[in-house]
């Protein structure tokens, strides 16, 4: 059984004026997402600025999320690291908090070999008893999970059950799904490629855009899975300009600005991330207005 089908939001981590984690605002964001159809909450991923959180903050965010969601939808915690020992620690602590699954990114900067990736992910998976989603995002990590490696892991390690693909190489994704023959679930990590990945057998999306357009993102996936491919395609095409604007600067700079523009401020970004350039912020606001998102 899939961890979830539909739209999972890669939720931001809100900060107070002095850049402490704003747990009250996080609870508000969670409620907003669930009330608008989001099918899963992904906490402490790239969009959640996990790389700038202390381990204590990281685990506190996970605990607060699990407690506040209270089983309404699955909670998936980002627990990856470029250090296998650290990833095991975070994964074990997240499991103790009651998360439904883990999202584990490739070990960035180290640029492990394919055998290194197999060893890394196997060690993490063997340290816990909950499902794991592999996270392949070569543009940010300099490391690519090849289809053969992902399929080998899924077949050999019982709790490695899915992969979030954020590669631009659709041929690689197609090869993955051919080799997998159903042994691994697929989630899109690119908001502009949801329909193509669903057409290859994907179960949904782990979305940045869903932070500000949760219902549209949910509806797009549901329509496709229910057979309304033309309706799903229309939403995908309608969302393209917003998806592009969301990544005109490094994520999560634009998505935090987008939430601010809707009147739902979530605080600044921790360094080394900086505020969005004014011209890009206007581009983002224009894309939001075009699909009916109220910009205040």
Task: Name the percent of the chain lying above pLDDT 70.
Answer: 100
Domain ranges in the chain? 6-216
101-150: per-residue pLDDT in tens?
Answer: 999 999 999 989 999 999 999 999 999 999 999 999 999 899 999 999 99
Residues recognised as catalytic: 135, 164
Report domain 6-216's class. Answer: alpha beta
Task: Name the percent of the chain lying above pLDDT 90.
Answer: 96
Residue 295 — very low, low, confident or very high, per pLDDT cuts 50/70/90? confident
Residue 2 — very low, low, confident or very high, per pLDDT cuts 50/70/90? confident
The three state secondary structure string of the chain is: CCCCCEEEEECCCCECCCCCECHHHHHHHHHHHHHCCCCEEEECCCCCCHHHCCHHHHHHHHHHHHHHHCCCCCEEEECCCCCHHHHHHHHHHHHHHCCCEEEEECCCCCCCCHHHHHHHHHHHHHCCCCCEEEEECHHHHCCCCCHHHHHHHHHHCCCEEEEEECCCCHHHHHHHHHHHCCCCEEEECCCCCHHHHHHCCCCEEEECHHHCCHHHHHHHHHHHHCCCHHHHHHHHHHCHHHHHHCCCCCCCHHHHHHHHHCCCCCCCCCCCCCCCCHHHHHHHHHHHHHCCCCCC
Identify the pLDDT of residue 294: 83
235-253: per-residue pLDDT in tens?
Answer: 999 999 999 999 999 999 9
The least confident of 176-185, 225-234, 251-260, 286-295 is 286-295
Identify the pLDDT of residue 211: 98
15-41: per-residue pLDDT in tens?
Answer: 999 999 999 999 999 999 999 999 999
Identify the pLDDT of residue 1: 67
Residue 63 — very low, low, confident or very high, per pLDDT cuts 50/70/90? very high
Q: Is the pLDDT of residue 209 over 90?
A: yes
Average pLDDT of span 177-183: 96
């Amino acid at each position: 059984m899939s961890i979830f089908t539909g739209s999972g939001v890669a939720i931001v981590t809100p900060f107070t004026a002095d850049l402490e984690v704003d747990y009250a605002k996080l609870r508000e964001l969670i409620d907003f997402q669930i009330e608008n159809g989001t099918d899963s909450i992904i906490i402490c991923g790239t969009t959640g600025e996990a790389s700038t959180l202390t381990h204590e903050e990281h685990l506190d965010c996970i605990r607060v999320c699990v407690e506040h969601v209270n089983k309404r939808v699955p909670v998936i915690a980002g627990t990856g690291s470029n250090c296998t020992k650290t990833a095991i620690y975070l994964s074990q602590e997240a499991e103790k908090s009651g998360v439904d699954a883990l999202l584990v990114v490739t070990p960035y900067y180290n640029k492990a070999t394919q055998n290194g990736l197999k060893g890394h992910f196997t060690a993490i998976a063997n340290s816990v008893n909950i499902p794991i989603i592999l996270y392949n995002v070569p543009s940010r990590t300099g490391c690519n999970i090849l289809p053969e490696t992902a399929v080998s892991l899924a077949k050999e390690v019982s709790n490695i059950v899915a992969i979030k693909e954020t590669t631009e190489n659709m041929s690689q994704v197609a090869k993955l799904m051919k080799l997998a023959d159903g042994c691994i679930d697929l989630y899109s990590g690119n908001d502009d490629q949801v329909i193509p990945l669903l057409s290859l057998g994907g179960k949904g999306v782990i979305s940045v855009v869903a932070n500000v357009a949760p219902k549209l993102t949910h509806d797009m996936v549901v329509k496709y899975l229910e057979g309304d491919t033309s309706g799903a395609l229309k939403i995908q095409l309608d969302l393209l300009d917003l998806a592009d604007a969301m990544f005109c600067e490094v994520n999560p700079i634009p998505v935090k600005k987008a939430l601010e523009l809707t009147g739902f401020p979530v605080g600044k970004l921790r360094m080394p991330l900086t505020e969005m350039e004014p011209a890009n912020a206007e581009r983002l606001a224009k894309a939001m207005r075009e699909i009916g998102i109220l910009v205040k």
